[in-house]
Copies of this chain bind each other. A is one copy, B any other.
Amino acid sequence: MEVFRTVEEMRAASEKWHAEGAKVALVPTMGYLHAGHISLVSRAHELADKVVVSIFVNPTQFGPTEDLDKYPRDFERDSAACEANGVDAIFAPTPDVMYASDFSTWVVEEKLSKPMCGVTRPIHFRGVCTVCLKLFNIVRSDVAIFGRKDAQQALIIQRMVRDLNVPVEIVTSALVREPDNLAMSSRNRYLSPDERKRALSLSRGILAAEAAWKAGEKDAQALIGIVKKSVEEGQGKIDYIVLNSQDTLEPLQKADKPALLAAAVYFGTTRLIDNVFLG
């Protein structure tokens, strides 16, 4: 496994692989890898000959009051996990490699980025779109894999790729849960034992709503209510719980077309997200 720190090294490797006729997949991450990330790596191996994992805690997607500085980092552990899972290369640039001091160009998605996480994180998806386009242009992968745990992010990246004709195929992969059903996230480590226990009310609510939907419940307020009740029992502080169209992320009255039931909830100071695709 190779580790590239510069744009030039990463590009040269990708060019070489392409010249050899290999198909290249990218799994973009912020590191601190867990089983959710590894499932993306497995999917990447199914789809391509060479798998690149990028590890970059992207400063431009964090708001001024967010957790950039304390975001967990452990390159040795990540590197071992990549090696153990057959990753061909890690691309791990420093911020100055990615952002010149007079950097001034942004990719902005203006519709799907507005609701949900966009309400409280107004610059988040601008940072995500910009860094992902940069990574696609540097790695020049044929395919890139995104987890459906970050459902809004995956939909926005698909929209960006369509709108800007970016020559990469976006594949999404299922959300992965801990044995007790908590959605896997690098941020779970912030939780105290008590918060960790209460946080289960989020996945419990999401999964209960999914079960109700499968049993025939289509009413948005009823489905949202199931999540709300559960999260309130867990004393979570709700940022949002929505039932939105998968196409437009606009609110639905009824889950009578492909819908996304999604929530963001604080347990203590830690903000967790969870979701389920209905239809």
Contacts and interface: CB of A to CB of B under 8 A. Distances in A.
Nearest to A168: B137
Interface string A95-118: 000001011111111111000000
How large, as a class, is the contact surface on chain A? Answer: 20 to 34
Number of copies of this chain that the complex holds: 2
A111 B107 contact: no
Contacts of A133: 164
A126 to B, nearest CB: 9
A269 interface: no
A133 B161 CA distance: 11
Interface string A137-155: 1101000000000000000
Nearest to A129: B105
Nearest to A136: B165
A105 B110 contact: yes
A109 B107 CA distance: 9
A164 B130 contact: yes
Given A130-B164, A166-B137, A104 B100 contact: no
Contacts of A279: none
